[in-house]
Structure 1
C-alpha cells in the first residue's frame, strides 16, 4: 500500500512538473541562421515545403514548433538586406499580419499576435470525431505552424511563448472554418488579422456541419474543456441544418433546441455567447439585382432564440445580402470561388461556387463580423488593431486592389456542405 501511495505521488509530481513546464515553455529562433527540417526529434524546423536556400530565399515557407495545446504569443522581427514584403499566417491559413514592408536600409519591424494551437484530444477517454479530410489539417496536429509568405518575405527572428489571454471560440460550417487550401477561404481565418496580441481565436468550425453534428462530434465538448470566464463563443449555423430531414427537424424546433444547448453550456462556464446569422448564398432573383433568401426561417429562428435568451446577434445574413447586392450580379462573383479554367494547377474546368468564399470574400465578411462586434460594443473592441478602419457592406473594398499572397497548396475539391 505504501509503495502504491509513493508511486501515485510520483505520478502527480511529474504531472505538475510537466504542466508547469508547458506553461513556461518559450522558444527563440534566429532565422538568419540555418534551421533544421522539422521532425519529431528536433521538435522545430522547416515544414510542408522544401527548406528555403540562397537561390529561393524569397520563396514562401512554413516553420513548425511542437507545443502542447494552448495559446501562444508569437513575436516576429522582420527585415533584411533588400526591400521586403511579408505576410504571416498560422495553422490553417489564418491571416495574422499581411503586406508588412521594410526597406533595405537596416529597417526592422516587430509584429506580435496570438496563435491558438489544439489537437483532437479532450481528455484521457474522449477525442473530437474529426472527419477523414481533417486528419491532414494543420489545425489538428501537435505543432504550431507559421506560414511566411509575401512578394519578398524577410523574417529575422521568431519568439514563441505560452500566454493566457481571452479566447474567441468559433463554431460553424464551411463559411467559418479555417480552409486549408487555396482558393477557398472563410471569415473565421480572416478575422484573426484584426485582433492584437491580447486575444486569441480558436476556430473549431468544419465544412458540412450542422449545429447537431457539431455537438455530436464532441467539438463543443472540446471547447468546454478549456472555456473560461472572459472567453467568447461565436456560433454560425444554418446552411446545412436546413437540409436535415429527421422527424422534428427544421428551424422552429430542432435548430432552436440545438442553439439553446450552446447557450446553456457556454454560460455554465461563465463565458459569453454571440450568434451570427448564416451568410447568404449568391442567389439572385430574375432581376439580377436582389438576393433571394435561401435559408428559409433559419435566420429568424436564430434571432428568436437570441431574443428569448438575451444573446447578442451579428446579422451576417443581412450584411452579406447588402454586400452581394452592392457589388452587383457580376462583381459579386469576386467574393466567391468563381475562376476560369486553368487558374490553378490541374484545373481543367471552371469553378463556379455561390456559397463558398474566396480570400477576398472571406476578408470582407470578416470585416462585417468585426463591425458587428463594434455595433454590439463588446469588450473585444479594445483588442482591435490600430490599423482597423470601420467598414460597411454598402461600401466594400475594391477587389482590384486587394493583395493576397497565395499559399503554395491548392485543392480543387469543393468543401463539404453548400
Structure 2
C-alpha cells in the first residue's frame, strides 16, 4: 500500500532541530516514535538531526521527514512563525506543492500569533480564523485532511497565584475549537492535555521538560537557561505521546482512522 504523509505546520515548539543546539526539541521531532517502526530507516547517511530524519523536498532547509512502516511525517514547522508569517513567507505555498490526496496537514499555531510586539507575526483571534482557513482550504484543495492542534501549554506556574499551570493562549484555543465545530475539522486539544499533564508533574518536574538548564550542562548553553516556552527532548517526547494518545482516543468521526491504524 502506498504510504501517506502527515505534514506538520507550526512554530518552534513543533520544529525539528539539529544536534548542535541540543537539548531543544520540538514535539514534531519525536512524534514518529509513537508509530509502527520495525527499523530505524533514516539515519544511514550521517544525518546530524536529533532523532531519525532527513531533509524533505521542501524549498525550506528546516523541513525534515521521518519514515515509519506505513507513512511519513514531514515536519515543516519553523521557529518564530505564526499562522500569518508562515503564510507570508510562502511556506504554505511550498507545502501545497507536496501535499496530495490521502495526506494530512496538522497545524499548531498561537505562540507567535499572540505576540503583539511582533507586528509581522501578530493576528487577532478573528484574523487567526482567517489565516487558519487558508491552511484548511489548501489541504482540502489537494484532497488532504486538515487537522487543528491547539498550542501546547507553557511553563507558567511561576506566574499564577496558586502555582498551577493554565491553558496558554486561551482565546486562540477557543477560536480553534470553534473553527473545528464550524467547518467540521478534527481538533486535537493538545493545549488542554499538556496543561493537565504539567499539573501532574508540578513545578520542579516541569523544569525537566522545558529548557531549564544548569550552567555548563550543555555546550551550547554555557550560562544555562531558564526558558518556559521551549522543550527539552524529554518534554517533546512526553507531549508527542500526549498527541498520539489524543489521536487514538479521537471518536468524533472516522477522519483520523487511517492515522490511528499506524500507531504503535
Q: Report what 2:51 is aligned to.
A: none
Aligned partner of residue 173 in structure 1, secondary structure: coil
* Equivalent residue in structure 2 for 1:220, among 88, 92, 97: 92
- Structure 1 segments of 4 or more deviating over 6 A? none
Q: Is the CA contact (8 Å cut-off) linking 1:251 and 1:297 kept in structure 2?
A: no
Residues 244, 265 of structure 1: alpha-carbon distance in 2 compared, 3 angstrom cutoff: farther
Deviation at residue 373 of structure 1 after TM alignment: 1.1
Q: Report what 1:47 is aligned to.
A: none
Cα deviation digits, residues 58-89 of structure 1 (max 9, x gap): xxxxxxxxxxxxxxxxxxxxxxxxxxxxxxxx
Residues 346, 276 of structure 1: alpha-carbon distance in 2 compared, 3 angstrom cutoff: closer
* Equivalent residue in structure 2 for 1:194, among 34, 49, 52: 34
CA distance in 1, matches of 2:212, 2:152: 17
Cα deviation digits, residues 277-334 of structure 1 (max 9, x gap): 001110011222x213441411101111111111101111101101111001111111
Structure 2 residue 114 is the aligned partner of structure 1 residue 242 = yes
- 1:404-415 to 2 correspondence within 5 Å? none
Q: Report what 1:268 is aligned to.
A: 141
Q: Report what 1:229 is aligned to.
A: 101
CA distance in 2, matches of 1:255, 1:232: 20
Q: Report what 1:286 is aligned to.
A: 161
Structure 2 residue 184 is the aligned partner of structure 1 residue 310 = yes
Deviation at residue 276 of structure 1 after TM alignment: 0.5
Structure with greater helix percent: 2
TM-score by length of 1: 0.51
- 1:374-413 to 2 correspondence within 5 Å? 374-376=248-250, 378=256, 379-385=258-264
Aligned partner of residue 3 in structure 2, secondary structure: coil
Cα deviation digits, residues 1-32 of structure 1 (max 9, x gap): xxxxxxxxxxxxxxxxxxxxxxxxxxxxxxxx
Deviation at residue 363 of structure 1 after TM alignment: 0.2
Task: Return 5+ residue gaps in structure 2 as ranges.
Answer: 37-68
CA distance in 1, matches of 2:261, 2:86: 30
Aligned partner of residue 194 in structure 2, secondary structure: helix
CA distance in 1, matches of 2:201, 2:216: 25
Deviation at residue 231 of structure 1 after TM alignment: 0.3
Deviation at residue 354 of structure 1 after TM alignment: 0.6
Q: Report what 2:7 is aligned to.
A: 169
CA distance in 1, matches of 2:206, 2:156: 10
Structure 2 residue 235 is the aligned partner of structure 1 residue 361 = yes
Q: With a CA cutoff of 8 Å and minimum separation of 6, indicate the structure with the bigger relative contact order.
A: 2
Number of matched pairs: 221
Larger Rg: 1
Task: Return 5+ residue gaps in structure 1 as ranges.
Answer: 1-162, 386-418
> In terms of mean alpha carbon deviation, does 221-230 or 255-264 score higher?
221-230
CA distance in 2, matches of 1:345, 1:234: 33
TM-score by length of 2: 0.79
Q: Is the CA contact (8 Å cut-off) linking 1:274 and 1:312 kept in structure 2?
A: yes
Aligned partner of residue 217 in structure 2, secondary structure: coil
CA distance in 1, matches of 2:76, 2:90: 10
CA distance in 1, matches of 2:216, 2:17: 21
Q: Is the CA contact (8 Å cut-off) linking 1:175 and 1:207 kept in structure 2?
A: yes
| RMSD of Structure 2 on Structure 1 (CA) | 1.8
Cα deviation digits, residues 116-137 of structure 1 (max 9, x gap): xxxxxxxxxxxxxxxxxxxxxx
Q: Report what 1:350 is aligned to.
A: 224
Aligned partner of residue 243 in structure 1, secondary structure: coil
Deviation at residue 250 of structure 1 after TM alignment: 4.1
